[in-house]
Amino acid sequence: MELFIKIIQFFLCFTILVGIHELGHFLMARVFHIRVEKFYIFFDPWFSLFKFKRGDTEYGVGWLPLGGYVKIAGMIDESMDKDFRSQPVQPWEFRAKPAWQRFLVMIAGVVMNVLLAIVIYCGVCYTWGDTYFSNDDARWGYAFNESGHRLGFEDGDRFVSVDGEPVDDPMALLNALLINENGRTVVVERRGEEVMLELSLESLIAMRQEKGYENLFRLREPFLVDSVVTATGLQKGDEIIAMNGYRNLEFFDYKAQLQLHAGQEVRVEVLRGADTLELTLPVSDEGRLGVLAATPYTPRTRYYTFWESIPAGFRKAGRTLASYWEQLKLIVQPKTELYKEVGGFLSIGSIFSATWNWHDFWLKTAFLSIILAVMNIIPIPGLDGGHAIFTLWEMITGRKVSDKVLEVAQYIGLFLILALLIYVNGNDFYRFFLK
């Protein structure tokens, strides 16, 4: 059932993204009175699952879920239909329009994906607000995994700044560690003093390659007393800071100590307000002190009015766009070897929740819409960016690129796209089934 929910979310998201993208091309073409012969969600080689015709346009759903397309009259596109070249130029054709109009038609899909992400982020901010954990609330610091320890962090460290910028949301710090070109300087508070850590690019790349960013750090869990079930000498609000000589452990470590001393007594140090008390407490045969522990952390939520949610959505989309662009620049640098991390449809599908959660679904959809926009604007023939760059050249030089050059470029682009699809989905197959 969980797999089914993931699949449904993936296809719903993909349909929305592809539909909105192609709708951008379609609407801009119609604005300039360019005839659109086909509007398809997914590709339809040999046959389609569903189609109908209205006016000059055939609308349909293909069976191959690798994207979608609009077939614009008088344009060399993915269909490689060149029959129109032997016919006189018609006023409703793409090739008959001035370069600036053709340029706008080409980038309209990318613009629509960015606008979709902005609209979704605005809606999410207005409906659910922006929930985050403030670094100021990490009174007991963080615990780090092995990759974090190799970077120089120690359990109990509290983040202060990264490259001179104060850390508010710790997830922003994690993002900064993942996306950089020159390493990072992180300042932490360690046992009451500030310590500077110089994290080299090589060490951060190694952390990414071993997927050390997964659970790189977590909040340390203190033993706080929420309520007393049996009379033990403890009070609500007490914090156990030592047990039988072991200090600064976490809640689960203290629980393990209690299990080792079931039916006996333990010596504890308790922080009560500004005072430190030493107590000897009985441990039940089940290894308990007779208290309920408190949850020390509460996420913060920033709520927005309707009008406040609009600039908030723009900011969120802008940060996501900038972040993904920085990641893409790192991936194409061979020295980082981050190209090994890229994935295809299985990787995309795996990011969705195993339970249906509209908040999570819309956040993932907005993120993937940004990715689709960035990938499509790359100037590779066959993608929107490839078409746009040729048209931009014409606008700058006044010389139109020949149909033969466009045809060859389209074939090259289709080959590159196919090779990329094979590579990223091959990575998925290796990662999910062979590794």
Q: What is the pLDDT of residues 348-398, one digit of tens each?
A: 777 888 888 899 999 999 999 999 999 888 887 778 888 788 888 888 888
Distance of CA 428 to the CA centre of its chain: 17
pLDDT tens per residue, range 115-171: 999 999 999 999 999 888 888 889 899 999 999 999 999 999 999 999 999 998 888
| Residue 407 Ramachandran class (φ > 0 left, ψ -120 to 50 alpha, else beta) | alpha
How would residue 338 be classed by pLDDT, with cut points 50, 70 and 90?
Answer: low
Q: Where are the beta strands (DSSP E) in 103-177?
A: 130-132, 142-144, 158-162, 165-166
Domains of the chain, each with CATH number or no CATH: 2-129+352-434 (no CATH), 130-221+298-302 (2.30.42.10), 223-293 (2.30.42.10)
pLDDT tens per residue, range 21-68: 999 999 999 999 999 988 888 888 888 888 888 888 889 888 887 778
CB-CB contact of 234 with 228 (8 Å): yes
CB-CB contact of 179 with 185 (8 Å): no
Rounded CA-CA distance 163/184 in Å is 6
Tell me the mean pLDDT in the region 270-281: 89
Q: Residue 167 carries which DSSP code?
A: P
Whether 249 shows a pLDDT value over 80: the answer reads yes
Whether 399 shows a pLDDT value over 90: the answer reads no
Q: What angle do CA 319, 325, 327 make, to 5 degrees?
A: 105
Tell me the mean pLDDT in the region 11-24: 90
**Three-state secondary structure call for residue 40:** strand
